[in-house]
Every structure is written in structure tokens, then in C-alpha cells.
Structure 1
Amino acid sequence: MHQKKNDAPRRDIIFSFEFFPPKSEEMEGQLWNAVRDLQDWNPEFVSVTYGAGGTTKAPTLSTVTRFLADTPFATASHLTCVSATKEETHQVIDSFRKAGVTHFVALRGDAPGGVGAPYQPHPGGYANAAELVAGLKQIGDFEISVSAYPEKHPESRDQAADIDMLKRKADNGADRALTQFFFDNDNFERYLEKVRAAGVKIPVVPGIMPIQNLTQLKRFAGACGTVIPAFLDERFAGYDDKPEERAKIAADVAAEQIEDLVRRGLHEFHLYTMNRAPLVSAVLNNLGFSRQTARSAGAAA
């Protein structure tokens, strides 16, 4: 897995990072420490999440503004349309555009009642992410990423309806889809075949979640419909009280998943950092990248 010193620098993978706005002073420090540690990896772009109903609009705007001012990252802001009129959503877009944002990750957003609560479109707002993409395209020439769900969005009637929504987002001007994290590559490959058969031509970028804590991940996965394969329990068994060994396994698992997807023809990946750097860096090291290689690639770009 590890690259030999005399190997050519790896250039067959493009990756991006996701961060979330901090909710406390301690988390603020954690975020910017992670950003500083990950800066040399030269990602294609980074994204900053945005809460349902605009609950984190202010912290997202503040975080994105600092990314644009103080880091070399091309920075995308998540944007939701839940619980907002079109005018309110346009005001949010305008405030982000004034801050320098040219790339949005356009999402419907979760219902205000939380995951599992019934979703009701705002009567004066965008009904879904496909409408939001169309609205963004009318406002400006933004780069637009959207979401995709290899194991189906929890609220979708079936996978066909889910893929139809992805097609509508692509037809309305989305540039790429970033997937919910998953661990079953066979299932993802079958999903991608159906997506292409439906006429969706935009890149579908696998979302990769390096496993910081398997127990917490299972709770999170249950809410968003991600299946946790049995092999993960087997890989992590017996390492609950061995953090260093557990972290090594987590890095191996994520790197192996990416390598397998590369063999299947995928070359772009979106890494969910959880605002922590060590595990993400370990994954990239396992894949044969080096910080110096990333810096050189960035300088040459």
C-alpha cells in the first residue's frame, strides 16, 4: 500500500475535503488546526457544511470567509433551501457571493424536525435541490455540486425515484454529484451503472468516510441509510482500547476502498474530514501521496 521512495509521484487521483462550522471555541481551534495540517495536500476544493433551515448560516459564512481569506483552498459553501422563501434563499446566496463564493453544494436540507420528520416544502420557496440548482443558475454562473445516494436517500420512494431526482439536478445545471459515504463498492458500482443508464453524465464522486469511531459511525449511518458491512466489525474487533492500532486500521480501510474504486475506473474522491487531520493524512500517505508532491502539484497548477 505504501509508496516506495523511488516510485513516481501519484497523480491519478483527485480529492476534495469536507469540513463543518465549529460550534464552540474548542471546536474552532480543532478546525483550524486540521486545516493547517491538511493544507499541504492541495485538494481540488474544500466544502463547508450548512445546517438545516439555515441554522448555521452565520457560522458557515464566517468559516467560508476565513477559508477564502486565509487559505489557498478553492472553497465551496453548502446551501440549503428548506424553511426559506426564494427571496430569503437569494439573500443568502448574495451574502455568500459577496464573500467570494463561486461554488455551491446545493442541497434541499433536512426537515426542521430532524431526520425522519416529514418534509414540507416552504410554500414560497424552492421545493427541492433540483429547483435550487435551477435558481442558482439563473442568478449567476456558479459551479454547482449536488448530493447523490448510492444506498438511496432515506426519504426516497425507491432508488429509481432517487436517481430521477439526481437526473433533474444534472439537467438543471449541476456540475458534479458528491455521494453520501458508503463502504460497499460493489453496490456503488451497480448504482453508478443505473445512474449512467438514466442519462446522468456528470461526475459522480464517491464520498469516503475514514472511520474515526465505528460505534458513533453506526449511529450516524443508521440515520442516513448507509449500510455498515460486517467486515468492518471484524476489522476493528479487539481494538477498542488500542487507539493507535485502531487508527492504522481505519486508514487502511479507507485507502483500500479508494484503491479498489480506482481499479473500477474512479479517480475523484470527496473525503469527510470530520474536522480532524491525522486520519485523513494517514489515508493519503497510504495511497502513495506525499505532502511535498502535493505542494509541487499545486505550484505547477
Structure 2
Amino acid sequence: MTTVLERLAGRRPVFSVEFFPPRDDADETVLWTAVRQLEPLDPAFVSVTYGAGGSSRERTIRTTGRIRRETTLTPVAHLAGVGHSRAELRNVVGWYAEHGIRNVLAIRGDPPGGPSAEWVAHPDGVTYADEMVSLIGGLGAFCVGVAAFPHGHPESPDLETDVRRLLGKIRRGAHFAVAQLCFEPDYFLRLRDRLAVLGCDVPLLPGVMPLTTRRTLAKSVELSGVSAPAAVAERLARHDDDPAGFRAEGLDITTSICERLLAEGVQGLHFYTLNRSTATRELVRRLGLGVSDRVHEDASRGRRGRPSEAGAGDGPMVGGRLQG
């Protein structure tokens, strides 16, 4: 199976996307509409999140396995340590290996009560994500990713401490890192440059949330842990009573963020899709990422599995967060 490192090895920047596992049949339809619509654009990989406390473990396993079997995509399975013993974690990793999934994003994970709840380690589990990296790496030839935080992890005393912890995860064997989203590219670029000074050259991908509605803006604030810059908030506030105008302005803002990151030489952009494809597809085309419309039409005729007949808009806001 292709690894994330192999997909990131080309000279051109790429894009990747994140999904969360569906909770019911209706969510399943929405998710697979997005999967089928994004597949022809050839994302470098697609990641599937893992719920707080392992609450979505079976759904994550099922969704990742189905993507592996029925599409041409490269799946990355999230694996969170919270709430699990080491034996349980080994079992999940073993299932991934058995089903041909070799790309895993290792995170500590949010506690079941949410990001603000107290985090308590399982008595037979792990405490930090670097332990997850070691555990996964000891079970086979996996390509392991980790989370990065341009503004620093909420529990880190300062940014330098957080950078050192990220470096520790990489030294334990992580092959790539995906950053939590941020509104201002400079925060991501400073993190990238600081890692380079410390001798770290693994791929680091910035996270991007397409700003299409007031709810996606709120989700972006929740995930990043920081408020939108005044200039961004002011531009969007002009369209509070105009959903179409808000969406157009939000995508222009998101495009500008992406263009700055690409101009600075990032290897790719990781889009938080909230299981919808429309905005991400529009951004990918604006930025010249993925494959051309003609190529993706040809690919859609020959891909594995049946394409969904339903359309998908930007839709409601649901989703997870990187943690640790």
C-alpha cells in the first residue's frame, strides 16, 4: 500500500482531506458522497478521525477499511490513546495491518468530556503521543503521522516546550505531521522554520478549514483555540445576513491563506472537510492542486466502487480535533 511519505515525495504541492466516521445511515450517505466527489481529484491521502475516548473506534475502523477496499484513495487511520490500554491499542493496530492500512495518525486524544475536561491516562495505557508513535512503530512497517500545533498545545506552558514535544514525537519515529488549523500563516511558518533549525525535515502540512458559514467559522475558532484576526472577523461580519456573500468572502479569505502557504513552499494543504466536498473542491481548483477536470473525469470512469448519485453542499458542522 502507498504511504503518505510516497505521496508527498513529488515536486508539486498536494492536498489531503480529513473525514470523521458517520454516526448513522444518513451520515454514511453524506460521507460517501464527499468521498466519491473528492476521489477523482486525487488527494494525497484521506484521514479518518477517532472520537473522544475511542467513542468512534469501530466506526473509524469500518470507514477506513471501506475506503481501502472500495476506492483508489490512500487512507490514514487516526488512533487515539485516551481510554485504551496498550493491549487494546495493539489490537486496533493489528486490525489495520491485517486490512492493508499502513498509514496511522497517532494522537493522544481528547478525554470523553471534551477538550476542556481533565485528561486521565488509562492505568495500562499511554500518557503522551510519543508513546503512541513508539507503540505503533514497534508493531510493523507503518507510516506514522502526528499532530502539530502552530499556536502551541493548550496544555503546553509555552510554544518552545510544545515544539520540543513535537520534536520528541518525530525522534520516536513519526514520518510526517499535520498541523491544527490557524487563521494566520505566519504561525505555521514559524513552527516549520523552528523545526528546521532543530534539524527536523519531516513533512509538515498546514491544516485548512474552508470558511463557508458562521458555523464553520465557529468550528475553526474551536479547533485552533484562537479567535479570528480582527481583519478576518470584520470582512465576514459584513455578510452576517447574506449567506451567499459570507460564503464567497470566506472562500476568498481561505484562498488567500492557502496561496500564502503555497508561496512559502509547503508540501501540501490538509483540508478539514466536515464530510462535505463542495468548498474543498472549489479551493483545490482555484489553487491548481490535484488533477485537472479532464483527468478526473477519466479517473471517475475507471475507479473502484460505484460513484454516489447524491450531491453535497457545505452542510452542517460536525467534526473532531487533533489532540497531542
Q: TM-score, normalised by structure 1?
A: 0.89
Structure 1 unmatched runs, 5+: 1-10
SS at match of 1:250: helix
> Aligned partners of 2:70 and 2:45: how far apart in 1?
14
Amino acid at match of 1:97: A
Answer whether contact 1:17 1:47 (CA < 8 A) is retained. Answer: yes
> Aligned partners of 2:297 and 2:268: how far apart in 1?
18
Partner of 1:7: none
User: Once superposed, what is the RMSD of the aligned Cα atoms?
Assistant: 2.1
Higher mean displacement: 236-245 or 16-25: 236-245
> Aligned partners of 1:245 and 1:112: how far apart in 2?
37
> Aligned partners of 2:127 and 2:109: how far apart in 1?
11
Partner of 1:97: 97
Partner of 2:141: 141
Asked if residue 130 in structure 1 is aligned to residue 130 in structure 2, the reply is yes
Q: 1:220 to 1:70 in 2, by over 3 A?
A: same
Answer whether contact 1:153 1:224 (CA < 8 A) is retained. Answer: no
> Aligned partners of 1:288 and 1:200: how far apart in 2?
28
Partner of 2:294: 292
> Aligned partners of 2:243 and 2:16: how far apart in 1?
26
Matches within 5 A, 1:164-179: 164-179=164-179
SS at match of 2:285: helix
Deviation at 1:220, TM superposition (A): 5.3
Deviation at 1:292, TM superposition (A): 2.6
Answer whether contact 1:247 1:279 (CA < 8 A) is retained. Answer: no
Q: 1:37 to 1:44 in 2, by over 3 A?
A: same
Deviations 1:100-142 (A, max 9, x none): 2110010000123321122222221122110110111110110
Partner of 1:214: 214
Answer whether contact 1:14 1:43 (CA < 8 A) is retained. Answer: yes
Matches within 5 A, 1:33-48: 33-48=33-48
Partner of 2:307: none
Deviation at 1:219, TM superposition (A): 5.3
Partner of 1:112: 112
Amino acid at match of 2:294: Q
> Aligned partners of 1:12 and 1:214: how far apart in 2?
33
Answer whether contact 2:16 2:270 (CA < 8 A) is retained. Answer: yes
Matches within 5 A, 1:188-267: 188-218=188-218, 221-222=221-222, 224-267=224-267
Deviation at 1:213, TM superposition (A): 2.4
Q: 1:203 to 1:295 in 2, by over 3 A?
A: farther
SS at match of 1:112: coil
**Aligned length in residues:** 289
SS at match of 1:139: coil
SS at match of 1:246: helix
Answer whether contact 2:204 2:267 (CA < 8 A) is retained. Answer: no
Amino acid at match of 1:292: R
Q: 1:296 to 1:26 in 2, by over 3 A?
A: closer
Deviation at 1:224, TM superposition (A): 4.5
Deviation at 1:76, TM superposition (A): 0.7
Q: TM-score, normalised by structure 2?
A: 0.83
Amino acid at match of 1:267: Q
> Aligned partners of 1:244 and 1:217: how far apart in 2?
15
Asked if residue 52 in structure 1 is aligned to residue 43 in structure 2, the reply is no
Identity %: 35
> Aligned partners of 2:223 and 2:178: how far apart in 1?
18
Answer whether contact 1:147 1:180 (CA < 8 A) is retained. Answer: yes
Amino acid at match of 1:174: A
Deviations 1:22-80 (A, max 9, x none): 11222211111111111111011110001122110111111111111111101010001
Answer whether contact 1:86 1:125 (CA < 8 A) is retained. Answer: yes
Deviation at 1:296, TM superposition (A): 7.5
Answer whether contact 1:250 1:279 (CA < 8 A) is retained. Answer: no
Answer whether contact 2:209 2:220 (CA < 8 A) is retained. Answer: no
Answer whether contact 1:210 1:251 (CA < 8 A) is retained. Answer: yes
Partner of 1:5: none
SS at match of 2:180: strand
> Aligned partners of 1:297 and 1:203: how far apart in 2?
27
Deviation at 1:156, TM superposition (A): 1.3
Partner of 2:78: 78
Amino acid at match of 2:69: A
Partner of 2:316: none
Higher mean displacement: 104-113 or 233-242: 233-242
